[in-house]
Structure 1
Amino acid sequence: MTWMSMVWAQTRLNQTVLLRQRGFAFSVLLVPLFLAFVNTAGPASGTTIGGVPGAVFGAVGAMAVVFPFSYMTIATTIVVRREERVYKRLRGSALPTSAIFAGDILHATLVGAVQAAIILAYAMGVVGAPAPRNIPLIVIAFVLGAAVFAALAIGTAGLIPNNEIAQLVAIPVLLVSMLGAGMMFPLSVLSAGVQRAAELLPLTPIVSMIRTAYLGRDFARDGAPEVGFLETFQVSATEIGIGLLWIGVGLWCTRQYFRWDPRRA
């Protein structure tokens, strides 16, 4: 078998196992869509934010809600396989370590991509969002978001003792990420110090990149002026740097805390 075929086999296995866990599958597959739809019907939906209707502003940013759930999927999968000694058996097989992790990450990313596409269709067909201004930058933002939360999931999985705790850990990750990214209310209602702290959270730069790329506006400046195609990349440079920094944090945590053996061993 080639490396890619082994990764794809791992991806299919992850999907089969996910569908067998009905409660967990409901949380991972449907809750992100529900949160995205609710995000377009909040108090700010009838206002204008940076020259953009509040419902459109919320719907575009809601595409990033899939990443905290990607974190939950990957972290839970790793913890379950570690505690059930699946990883110990896999390491004794011909399957490379890179293929194991790549399969976990690819599965979560593909699920998130389908969910993001559904949210995008909802934003354009129901909410009335315009066509995206910069599709390549949206793709970069999505890949960066997937990498950030995958790195953090693998890096923190070693600190999670069991499957039940893994799902509970994802709840504060989700809430803090959404609140800090201004998905439930505009960050402008917060104090300047809290705003600066929120801008450094893992999800915030991803949401900012998606909104800038999709709507073609620089929401970091007063009045959110329109920017050109190439300028959107320049505007998003800081967000890309923050995302890469979080990937580095995740890789460092992986080296420090990841373990193949069950914690109860």
Structure 2
Amino acid sequence: MTVARMRALGRAELTLLLRAKSALFTGAAAPVLLTVGLWSAVGEMDLAGTGLSPGTIMLPGAVGFMLLFTVYSNLVGVYVARREELVLKRLRTGEATDPEILVGSALPAAVLTVLQVLVLVVAGPTLLRVPMPSRPDLLAAGVLLGLVMTAAMAAVSSATTRSVEAAQVTPLPVMLVSLMGSGMFIPLDVMPDRVAEVCRLLPLSPVMELVRGGWAGGQEAAVTLRSLALAAVWTGLMLLAARRWFRWERRG
């Protein structure tokens, strides 16, 4: 069965993740440390007229950090390592299909991210005095689209990565642009209008708008529909790119 095969692949990948201390730290601890480290800077922002508070900036921002570190950066290394070790090539000779192999390999990162988001939802009101998400449907949609998008982005980035060592560097451009321009740390509402309009077109920007709208509420229906449509388009493009360029064998 498809589910059984993906579960088996995910279980094996989880075992490897627990043994790789650096990857586990990047996926589990880095988003938390980054969120805590940026708290004071967010507190100094001028948020007048935006309807936002430090809490409604940092909690959605933490979700973005998880998507970048726990899913995207981690999976670039996973896909490259399994390719160079010929694990992917051997798996393709069995019953598992290509999508099952890729999804199974991504399951531990996805599950860890969902668990982290649930912790934020439960602990946020107590630790940061932020109300529970007013639109959990938007939060769930943003997280789901973000998971699929960043996993596909990782597959695309792995195609241009020659070695496991290089996988520590390859994700950096995407991560830096997303951190600064997708509203994770600096909300688009406080940017100059022209800059904000350009940044809204970045892949993770609509995901962050959905997540922030889920927490803060008050988002207009047109903005929500635009975010959903743009996130869906980017997700589809990343999936198509992964299907086209993902490499299953060692680079020559």
Return the offset for 1:83: 0.8
Q: Is the aligned partner of 1:260 residue 2:248?
A: yes
Return the offset for 1:65: 1.7
Going from structure 1 to structure 2, the CA distance change for 1:45 and 1:9 (only over 3 Å counts) comes to farther
**C-alpha distance in 2 between matches for 1:168 and 1:185:** 24
Which aligned pairs between 1:187-226 and structure 2 lie closer than 5 A? Answer: 187-188=188-189, 190-218=191-219
Q: Which residue matches 1:130?
A: 131
Q: TM-score, normalised to structure 2's length? A: 0.90
Aligned structure 1 segments of 4 or more residues deviating by more than 6 angstroms: none
SS at match of 1:236: helix
Q: TM-score, normalised to structure 1's length? A: 0.86
What amino acid maps onto 1:53 in structure 2?
S
Q: Is the aligned partner of 1:78 residue 2:79?
A: yes
Is the contact between residue 156 and residue 253 of structure 1 (CA under 8 Å) also seen in structure 2?
no
**C-alpha distance in 1 between matches for 2:66 and 2:42:** 22
Higher alpha-carbon deviation: 43-52 or 238-247: 43-52
**C-alpha distance in 1 between matches for 2:45 and 2:243:** 47
> Which consecutive unaligned segments of at least 5 residues does structure 1 have?
219-226
Which aligned pairs between 1:11-90 and structure 2 lie closer than 5 A? Answer: 11-44=10-43, 48=47, 50-69=50-69, 70-90=71-91
Q: Which residue matches 1:248?
A: 236
Q: Is the aligned partner of 1:120 residue 2:121?
A: yes
Return the offset for 1:46: 6.9
Return the offset for 1:149: 0.9
Is the contact between residue 57 and residue 185 of structure 2 (CA under 8 Å) also seen in structure 1?
no
SS at match of 1:52: coil
Return the offset for 1:177: 0.8
Q: Which residue matches 1:236?
A: 224
Is the contact between residue 10 and residue 105 of structure 2 (CA under 8 Å) also seen in structure 1?
yes
Higher alpha-carbon deviation: 200-209 or 179-188: 179-188
Task: Write out per-residue CA displacement over residues 94-120 of structure 1, whole angstroms, 9 at most, x where no aligned residue.
Answer: 223222112123222111111222233
**C-alpha distance in 2 between matches for 1:71 and 1:52:** 27
Task: Write out per-residue CA displacement over residues 43-76 of structure 1, whole angstroms, 9 at most, x where no aligned residue.
Answer: 4357545233223332233222211121112221
Going from structure 1 to structure 2, the CA distance change for 1:156 and 1:171 (only over 3 Å counts) comes to closer
Q: How many percent of aligned residue pairs carry the same amino acid?
A: 27
Return the offset for 1:217: 1.9
Going from structure 1 to structure 2, the CA distance change for 1:53 and 1:189 (only over 3 Å counts) comes to closer
What amino acid maps onto 1:99 in structure 2?
E
Return the offset for 1:77: 1.0
> Which consecutive unaligned segments of at least 5 residues does structure 2 have?
none
Q: Which residue matches 2:185?
A: 184
Q: Which residue matches 1:149?
A: 150
Task: Write out per-residue CA displacement over residues 141-175 of structure 1, whole angstroms, 9 at most, x where no aligned residue.
Answer: 11111111112111232111111211212233222
Q: Which residue matches 1:9?
A: 8
Return the offset for 1:124: 1.5
What amino acid maps onto 2:228 in structure 1?
I
SS at match of 1:102: helix
